[in-house]
Chains A and B, each alone.
Chain A
Amino acid sequence: MTLLETLDLTRAYGGVVAVNKVNFSVEEGLITGLIGPNGAGKTTLFNNITGLDVPTHGRVIFAGRDITGSPAHKICRMGIARTFQNIRLFKDLTVVENVMIGRHFKTGKSETKGRFLNAFNSYIRLHQEEEEIYERACEWLEFFDMEGMKDELAKNLPYGKQRELEIARALATDPKLLFLDEPAAGMNPQETDHLMTIIRKIRDLDITVVLIEHDMKLVMSICDTITVLNYGQKLAEGTPYEIRRNQDVIEAYLGKEE
């Protein structure tokens, strides 16, 4: 079943078309890889889906709803979470606080969600609510084997751990769909292996994962399906096996052989 699809999604900056009529779809329960050379428009596509940027044309459909142009915080609340290419942690907050912020809108009664009453309510039930949030945050840290460093400031973590913390924070929003923007960038092979295990564990939690990655070994070994972008356009999609043999993709990466 298709969880998310974009219809003719286009984003132009003045004359430069960063994403051009892309039809990108994500199947529920699978790990989807999004690859392509630098400047192919992968991150722009992510931004347009997650509400940090607004498409010039086209639509984004998530779980049957048109979410085109919704603000980022609303999209997050619908169940799409993401990480960033350049890590964007709340650097001066502790590890556990970073994850707790992910729980922000998951608290309180649903009929008043996001309203003043809800804020008031959480003000009254402060202790109980905080304990709940804290407990859930700790569970996510355990998932990443990071409980021991929960009171560190985020900026003091080693690089690999910072990437994992960002994923933990995104997961804390209980997403149906998780976007990872180059999660393995800057990681050493051991860290990458650990990351692969974690991504598989995330899929086992029934969370659909989409990832941008340049590490081909990682992409090929964990993705169920792969979409390739080049110059803002979709070049190919299919299983890793198919992609590896696709002539267009090979040309895009290696250049045309004469």
Chain B
Amino acid sequence: MWNFFLLILIYTGIYALMALGQNIITGYGGMLSLTQAGFFAIGSYATAILATRYGWSFWATLPAAALFSAFFGLLIGLPTLRLKGDYLAIATLGFGEIVRNVLNNWDSLTNGPMGIQKIPMITIFGFVVNPYKKYAFLVVLSIAVLVAYLLFQRLARSRMGRALAAVREDEIAAQSMGINITKYKVYAFILGASVAGVAGSFQAAFTLSVSPGTYTFMVSVMVLCMVVLGGMGNFKASILGAFIIQLISYLPQLTGLTAVIPPQFKQILFGLILVIMMIWRPQGLLGREQITYRKKGGKR
């Protein structure tokens, strides 16, 4: 039981990383991207391929995964210069499908539908973070989530975060305030993608195998649900959202009611969450985070 709870926490951590990325794109930048699964996949495969084929250690593949994903974030971010709302959503959705399609068909690199197995475990100074010993893995992962959270939080509180908010609120006004809106949109995508890549890297190191079937549209929708449920524009809320969505996701197993609850229960529930939250509480459980400012030499 407790072990299972730890597992949920680990998945929460992995998805929380993705949700943080989604939040910077959607919550701050106001762009509906449906491609977190694609970046997640790129990160996972980067780690899987570099580790199994070229013998890189996890810690070397981690930044590589982030960079690869960031590069693709740039690629998909560029079209956003011209796309808005609905169009962007579809283009990003298409991009996610393309990623999965390519992974499934590029047999010589990705081993196609068979996937890649026997990915080495994380080691820290010779200590193996065996994913079967969940505490150790959870600790490493939590540190990653914490670091990502702090970095994003700091970013949101800087003038860059505010510029991104301006782009979301009104692009034309933002332009006229001297903000280069294209640059900020692309930044948002790059950041969102790279953190999803990191999540993918951890996922590969936890499941020790990757296959294209994991990275479906469902993953993107789940991440979106996390951000919407927690509250857009609030990073704490994204982590909370990730936890709640994962709990719901594993609720039938956690309660031992798998036989009673229909298997489609959680997907239907995710759908309901999106609809209901939009109608009754569009700001999410926690709402947008208000920042308090202070003057120079003000009280600490």
Contact = CB atoms under 8 A, between A and B. Distances in A.
Interface of A: 50-52, 71-73, 76-77, 81-82, 84, 88-94, 96-97, 100-105, 107, 114, 119, 122-123, 126, 129-135, 138, 169-170, 173
Given A122-B158, A126-B158, A72 B295 contact: no
A100 B157 CA distance: 12
Given A88-B173, A92-B169, A126-B157, A131 B295 contact: yes
A173 B295 contact: no
Contacts of A96: 293
B159 A129 contact: yes
Q: What are the nearest 5 A-B pairs in CB distance?
A: A90-B169, A76-B178, A72-B175, A88-B173, A134-B293
A119 B172 CA distance: 22
A130 B157 CA distance: 8
A48 B166 CA distance: 22
Main secondary structure of the interface of A (DSSP, over half): helix
Contact of A71 (B173, B175, B291): B175
A76 B180 CA distance: 10
Contacts of A73: 175-181
Interface in B145-194: 154-155, 157-160, 162-163, 165-166, 169-170, 172-181
B53 interface: no
Nearest to B293: A134
Contacts of B163: 101, 104
Given A92-B169, A134-B293, A76 B158 contact: no
B177 A102 contact: yes
Given A93-B165, A97-B162, A122-B159, A130 B173 contact: no
Contacts of A170: 176-177
B296 interface: yes
A91 B294 CA distance: 22
Contacts of A76: 175-178
Contacts of A52: 172, 175-176
Given A73-B179, A92-B169, A134 B162 contact: no
A71 B158 CA distance: 24
Contacts of A84: 172-173, 176
18 contacts: A52-B175, A73-B176, A81-B176, A82-B176, A84-B176, A88-B170, A90-B174, A100-B162, A101-B162, A101-B179, A104-B177, A119-B160, A126-B157, A131-B294, A131-B298, A134-B295, A169-B177, A170-B176
B288 interface: yes
A90 B180 contact: no
Given A88-B173, A103-B159, A130-B293, 15 more contacts: A76-B175, A76-B176, A76-B177, A84-B173, A84-B176, A89-B169, A89-B173, A101-B162, A101-B177, A102-B177, A104-B179, A105-B179, A123-B158, A170-B177, A173-B178
A90 B166 contact: yes
Nearest to B166: A101
A144 to B, nearest CB: 17
The interface centre, meaning the residue of B155, B163, B180, B294 with most chain A CB atoms within 10 A of its CB, is B180
Interface string B68-90: 00000000000000000000000
A90 B288 CA distance: 14
Contacts of A51: 175-176
Nearest to B181: A73
A90 B170 contact: yes
A96 B290 CA distance: 12
Contacts of B169: 89-93
Contacts of A82: 176
Interface in B192-207: none
A131 B296 contact: yes
Contacts of B162: 93, 97, 100-101, 104
Given A132-B296, A135-B296, A173 B177 contact: yes
Contacts of B166: 90, 93, 101, 104
Residue among A90, A91, A129 with the highest chain B CB neighbour number at 10 A: A90
A209 to B, nearest CB: 16
User: Which among B154, B163, B177 has the greatest number of chain A C-beta atoms within 10 A?
Assistant: B177
Contacts of B181: 73
B217 to A, nearest CB: 29
A129 B160 CA distance: 12
A114 B163 CA distance: 13
Contact of B295 (A71, A94, A138): A138
A76 B166 CA distance: 15
Contacts of A90: 165-166, 169-170, 173-174
Interface in B84-142: none
A103 B162 CA distance: 11
Interface in B241-300: 288, 290-291, 293-296, 298
B87 to A, nearest CB: 21
Nearest to A102: B177
